[in-house]
Amino acid sequence: MVSAGGQTVRTVLGDVAPGDLGVCDAHDHLFLTSPQLPGQELDSVDSAAAELAAFRAAGGRSVVQWTPHGMGRRAAELPGLARTSGIRIVAATGLHQAVHYAPEALTGLRAEGLEAVFVRELTRGIGDSGVRAGLIKVAGGFHGLDAHARWTMTAAAGAHRATGAPIAVHLELGTGALDVLDLLCGELEVPPGKVILGHLNRDPDFEVHREAASAGAWLAFDGPSRAHHTTDWRMPDAVRALAEAGHGDRLLLGGDTTTAAARSVNGGPGMPHLLRRVRPRLVRAVGEELVDRMVTANAGRAFAVAWAG
């Protein structure tokens, strides 16, 4: 179904109107493998199905998976999971920090041309799965951008120009938001409304949050309840500060489950935690209307694209 403006969200079962996303976890993972997370891989189809069922039971209707190229996305499994769970799934292309890859994999991508890989995965499909990505995920560094980040963001900007796809950015411990905007939107001229900054909750600098929102970027508060992060309790105040400054329309929420132990079906918070505990806590801070908008209309707008390819 195509919306009136011709903008759609590219799910693994096809393009849908932004309003069809329903309650959306705007940043999460069904599958994820990295040499940085040995023994914690998200690679079980059964576990992914169980987590999706738990998310749906909690009221969830769509999940945006930010797992980029080469990190075990299992793209071919996503349509089946979407059908059985009744959850809309959006897949990603893009590239994470260099530490998540074998050096030879990066050499191969350089030879092939990273932008071309991103465009192919957005328009033709991931591998031979036929499943198209709906966003481009890249990553910054801790308070800065190294050569790898500049390479991937330059390719992402090119793929955005070719397709219209949004660019979702992992900010390392929530830092570097303004450096990312300077590069993507300043040098590379990506419209700020096509940039989604992730992990703002991990660096609760309200001034930086306001500056990024004023620039017109999306701010994703994602990955609550991670035992190795201590900023959960600042998140409601950060969201309230942005809402009071008039930036409620730029805010997104995500669960960002990155390890098997963090899944609800393994005893962790997982995807349902977002709706079960984070949502009511945020409602107390900013009211039900805004929180509902964050998880529905905002997500629809953030991932909506007038696809050029």
Q: Which is nearer to Zn ion, 96 or 247 (CB)?
A: 96
The H or E element spanning position 26 is: strand 24-28
- In terms of C-beta density within 10 A (0-12 exposed, 13-18 middle, 19 or more buried), how is residue 216 classed? middle
66 binds Zn ion (CB under 5 A): yes
Least distance (Å) from Zn ion to the CB of residue 258? 6
The reply to whether 228 sits in an annotated binding site is: no
Binding window for Zn ion (CB under 5 A); candidates: 3-11, 64-72, 111-119, 161-169: 64-72
What letter does residue 264 receive in the DSSP assignment? G
The reply to whether 137 sits in an annotated binding site is: yes
Least distance (Å) from Zn ion to the CB of residue 73? 12
Measured distance CA(77)–CA(264) in Å, rounded: 20
Measured distance CA(13)–CA(78) in Å, rounded: 9
Measured distance CA(134)–CA(15) in Å, rounded: 9
Check if the beta carbon of residue 216 is closer than 8 Å to that of residue 189: no
Residue 186 neighbours by CB under 8 Å, 6+ apart: none
Side-chain half-sphere of 67: how many Cα atoms within 13 Å?
Answer: 25
Q: Which is nearer to Zn ion, 77 or 256 (CB)?
A: 256
Least distance (Å) from Zn ion to the CB of residue 66? 4
Question: Rounded to a whole number, what is the largest CA-CA distance in the chain?
Answer: 51
Q: Which is nearer to Zn ion, 67 or 123 (CB)?
A: 67
Residue 93 burial (CB count, 10 A) = 30
Check if the beta carbon of residue 286 is closer than 8 Å to that of residue 243: yes
Least distance (Å) from Zn ion to the CB of residue 222? 7
Residues in contact with Zn ion, counted by CB under 5 A, come to a total of: 2
The reply to whether 194 sits in an annotated binding site is: no
Check if the beta carbon of residue 167 is closer than 8 Å to that of residue 135: yes
Least distance (Å) from Zn ion to the CB of residue 44? 18
Binding mask 94-133 for Zn ion (x = CB under 5 A): ----------------------------------------
Least distance (Å) from Zn ion to the CB of residue 129? 21
Measured distance CA(170)–CA(183) in Å, rounded: 14
Q: Which is nearer to Zn ion, 223 or 248 (CB)?
A: 223
Q: Which is nearer to Zn ion, 203 or 256 (CB)?
A: 256
Least distance (Å) from Zn ion to the CB of residue 71? 10
Residues numbered 241 to 280 that lie near Zn ion (CB under 5 A) are 256
Concatenate the DSSP letters of all residues of 71-99 into one string: S---GGGHHHHHHHHT-EEE-EEE---GG
Using DSSP's 3-state secondary structure scheme, residue 125 falls into coil
Q: Which is nearer to Zn ion, 66 or 101 (CB)?
A: 66
The reply to whether 199 sits in an annotated binding site is: yes
Q: Which is nearer to Zn ion, 32 or 122 (CB)?
A: 32
Binding mask 23-62 for Zn ion (x = CB under 5 A): ----------------------------------------
Bind-site residues: 27, 29, 137, 170, 199, 256
Binding site for Zn(2+), residues? 27, 29, 137, 170, 199, 256
Which residues are near Zn ion by CB under 5 A? 66, 256
